């Protein structure tokens, strides 16, 4: 694997890991929804970074890193949907 690609993936894996930790410790639905939105945004940026990579990527490097970013994107979307709905419904009851 390309060293620059490894460092680029580390650049996104570290914030994503910290966001998952913050998500697990968040006390309110609003905060969980916000952290999920930031996670979705980070994963989208990561996917765009891989898609528009200007260096020479082998097909396996491209596929591996893109799939990894899409897995995190899917996880954040799955986490964001129920917490955003729960936040919206709790706001309507107030």
Residue 93: pLDDT band by 50, 70, 90 thresholds?
low
Range 9-19 average pLDDT: 87
* CA-CA-CA-CA dihedral for 83, 80, 12, 60, to nearest 10: 140
Residue 73: pLDDT band by 50, 70, 90 thresholds?
very high
Other C-beta atoms lying within 10 Å of the C-beta of residue 23: 20
Residues 6+ apart with CB under 8 A from 71: none
Tens of pLDDT, residue by residue over 33-72, are 999 999 999 999 999 988 998 878 888 888 988 999 999 9
């Amino acid at each position: 694997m390309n060293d620059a690609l490894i460092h680029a993936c580390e650049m996104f894996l570290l914030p994503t890991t910290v966001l998952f930790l913050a998500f697990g410790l968040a006390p309110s639905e609003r905060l969980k929804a916000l952290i999920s939105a930031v996670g979705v945004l980070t994963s989208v940026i990561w996917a765009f970074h891989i898609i528009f990579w200007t260096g020479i990527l082998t097909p396996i490097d491209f596929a591996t890193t893109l799939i990894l970013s899409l897995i995190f994107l899917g996880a954040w979307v799955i986490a964001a949907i129920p917490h955003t709905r729960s936040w919206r419904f709790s706001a309507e009851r107030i």
